[in-house]
Amino acid sequence: MLTLIKDAHIITQNAERKLVRGDILIRDGKIVQVGGSVEGSADIEIDASGDIVLPGLINTHTHVSMAILKGIADDIPFPQFLDRVFKVDAHRTERDIEAGAAQGCLEMIRSGTTTFVDLYYSQDIIARAVERSGIRGILGWAVLDQEYTTQKGVPLDNCARFHREFRGRPRIYPAVGLQGVYVCSTQTFLSARDYALENDLLLTFHLSETRKEVSDCKRKEGKRPGDYLASIGFLNDHCVAAHSAWLTINEVRGLASSGAKVSTCPVSNMKLATGGEAPIPEMLQHGVTASIGTDGSTTNNSLDMFGEMKVLSLLQKSSRWDPTVLPAQKVLDLATIDAARAVRMDGLIGSIEVGKRADLIILDGRAPNLRPSRPSSMVSNIVYSSFGTNVKTVLCDGKIVMRDRKMITMDEERTLSEAEDAARALLG
């Protein structure tokens, strides 16, 4: 199968961060030519004249099935937020989990995300929605101490069962998802670490999201969360630590020396008013690979990574009184090639290069918010001016999942109708 994208502005995100004009040729899901003019015909041709092609965006922390819970706990203090969300979460069914995941995948496709990292239970149910959607899910089954869970059975055993059943499936990557230091014992962390390393799985977990989490861990373990996880030998290069908002420089050094990565979630932290912000400049200075996550739809309300990029950059600039912090190019890196490194898939995705999988998004280059279209300002326009609604066409693994804003892999009307029905049944 040959797919040809014609005459585009291509933001490659390769090592030289080249911007080129020309064609992209895809054979059986892999990129075989970038730039120049491709002679001959293809099975599928997409006219992208004047449009902008980017690598598919990578959301490194979310809870996709919570899409149908959007708006249930807005504008309230964090303890009340947790109480309300946990009460609803305890009554979820397979039906509403799958419907929520499908709605979340639909929203991500429409806003240009082709790969995401999820942390939740019932990932076998979520995987069904991901497979229908056509995008790539790195699905971390929630692992925590049995005394805190509503899961049937042992959470790590459930995680292992999910891994055995779904490993090797196209676009489904089982992972281990630890809830956090507040509900995971040392033994749970180490057992999860061992299983992940034995099976070469990603380890994702919440880290230092709130000041209370830090103070509680200091009382319980005598150390801050990052220092504690380093001291027990948990941190390693398979780790992606979500939030990481309340870290000291010593904890940043611990992440760097272990090879652990970070997913910062600026909108979620700001909306919940939990204070703190991930020290991204210091992480980058110490060699920590950073990336961006939206978090779930109860804490963010949006799964649009374009909005997340802009907020991240502006938050860091404003808080540092330094407009040079996190320039547009680096922010785009965090959503593409650096995110691919964070999930240990930079050999496959994250940039538009020959030999990589064709995870591509096409933005409407004629949209007024993206004009004037000049190479010198194109990346800045992407980070500071664009919206998810600028996305016209999405390919994942070389397959078109949305073309000219029309969904190909999913029945949009049915997906949204089923999500509405499931939300009514769950929420009343």
Is 107 inside a domain boundary?
yes
**pLDDT number for residue 89:** 86
Which of the four pLDDT bands, split at 50, 70 and 90, describes residue 373? confident
**275 and 336 part of one domain:** yes
Residue 121 has pLDDT above 90, yes or no: yes
**pLDDT number for residue 16:** 98
Question: Which of 287, 307, 342 lies at the terminal end of a domain, its last residue?
Answer: 342
**315 and 394 part of one domain:** no
Average pLDDT in the 275-300 region? 95
pTM for this entry = 0.97
Q: What are the strands of the beta sheet with 113-120, ordered from one edge?
A: 57-62, 113-120, 136-143, 172-178, 203-207, 239-243, 261-264, 290-292
**206 and 337 part of one domain:** yes
Domain count, the chain: 2
Of residues 266, 320, 260, the one with CA closest to residue 287: 260
Q: Which has more pLDDT, 78 or 313?
A: 313
**51 and 121 part of one domain:** no
Q: Mean pLDDT check: name the lowest of 84-88, 225-229, 329-333, 362-366.
A: 84-88
**223 and 93 part of one domain:** yes
Is 410 inside a domain boundary?
no
Q: Percent of the chain at pLDDT above 70?
A: 100
**6 and 81 part of one domain:** no
Residue 349 has pLDDT above 90, yes or no: yes
**pLDDT number for residue 276:** 83
Is 201 inside a domain boundary?
yes
Which of the four pLDDT bands, split at 50, 70 and 90, describes residue 41? confident
For residue 56, the 8-state DSSP code is P
**CATH code of residue 16:** 2.30.40.10
Residue 13 has pLDDT above 90, yes or no: yes
Spatial contact of 307 and 387, defined as CB atoms under 8 Å apart: yes
Is 416 inside a domain boundary?
no
Question: Which of 342, 364, 391 lies at the terminal end of a domain, its last residue?
Answer: 342
Whole-number mean pLDDT of the chain? 96
**pLDDT number for residue 144:** 97
Residue 34 has pLDDT above 90, yes or no: yes
Task: Let me know if 375 is exposed, middle or buried by CB neighbors in 10 A (0-12, 13-18, 19+).
Answer: exposed
Rg (CA), the chain: 21
**326 and 279 part of one domain:** yes
Residue 343 has pLDDT above 90, yes or no: yes
Question: Which of 293, 312, 342 lies at the terminal end of a domain, its last residue?
Answer: 342
Is 276 inside a domain boundary?
yes
**pLDDT number for residue 40:** 84
**CATH code of residue 242:** 3.20.20.140
**pLDDT number for residue 263:** 98
Average pLDDT in the 296-319 region? 96
**264 and 189 part of one domain:** yes
Is 111 inside a domain boundary?
yes
| CA torsion, ordered 148, 421, 272, 61, to nearest 10 deg | 70
Q: Percent of the chain at pLDDT above 90?
A: 94
Long-range interactions of 40-44: CB distance < 8 A, separation 24+: 41/4, 42/2, 42/3, 42/4, 43/1, 43/2, 43/3, 44/1, 44/2, 44/3, 44/4, 44/400
**pLDDT number for residue 287:** 98
Residue 78 has pLDDT above 90, yes or no: no
Which of the four pLDDT bands, split at 50, 70 and 90, describes residue 39? confident
The Cα–Cα gap between 238 and 177 comes to: 12
**93 and 113 part of one domain:** yes
Task: Let me know if 380 is exposed, middle or buried by CB neighbors in 10 A (0-12, 13-18, 19+).
Answer: middle
pLDDT in tens, 156-203: 999 999 999 999 999 999 999 999 999 999 999 999 999 999 999 999
| CA torsion, ordered 203, 220, 233, 161, to nearest 10 deg | -40
Is 425 inside a domain boundary?
no
**188 and 257 part of one domain:** yes
Task: Look up the domain containing 70 and give its range.
Answer: 57-342
Q: Which residues contact 52 (CB under 8 A, 6 or more apart)?
A: 8, 9, 10, 11, 362, 363, 365, 370, 373, 378, 382
**8 and 90 part of one domain:** no
**46 and 73 part of one domain:** no
Which of the four pLDDT bands, split at 50, 70 and 90, describes residue 275? confident
85: tokens are: 């969300």
Average pLDDT in the 358-369 region? 97
Is 207 inside a domain boundary?
yes
Average pLDDT in the 233-241 region? 98
Residue 428 has pLDDT above 90, yes or no: no
